[in-house]
Structure formats: C-alpha cells, structure tokens
Amino acid sequence: MSGLRPFCVKTPVRYRRNPVPDLADRIGMSQSAFFEHFKAVTGTSPFQYQKELRLLHARDALRGSDAMTGSSRSRKSPVY
C-alpha cells in the first residue's frame, strides 16, 4: 500500500448513495482496490462508514437544536 499517492479532497463528497467511484477516481485507484484499502485502514466498508458519519451528524444537529430539549414548546401547552 506504500504506492498510494496522498490526496486532498477539495470538495467533499457528501451523502451520495455510492461515493466509491468518485473517491477512487480522485486518487487514481480502481473501485475494488479503493474498497479493500478503505476497509483495511478503517475496519469498515465505505458504505458503513458513511452511514455512521450521517448518524453522527444527525445526532450533533439534534443536540444543537431545540428538538431534543423541547424548549420550542409552549409552557402553556397541555401536552408535554
């Protein structure tokens, strides 16, 4: 794996169904080689990694909003 070129993704590949083709192309690897290298480095597939990243972003977004605290509800509302 020492033959891999370092790369910088200037525009993030976010929330695509299948980011592997674009990412592999950006660093000059085949899709299968990228998939195997990604899994060897991270311990998970690109798809699982993307899913976990989405969940982390969603959790962080909820923590930063009123959705989790209920503070957007009126105090006079009979249903809490």
pLDDT for position 50:
87
Query: At CA 47, angle to CA 45 and CA 52, rounded to 5?
Result: 95
Closest CA to 34 of 48, 50, 20: 20
Name the stretches of the chain with pLDDT < 50.
1-3, 6-11
- C-alpha span between 38 and 80 (Å, rounded): 46
**Cβ-contact 31, 38 below 8 angstroms:** no
pLDDT for position 76:
57
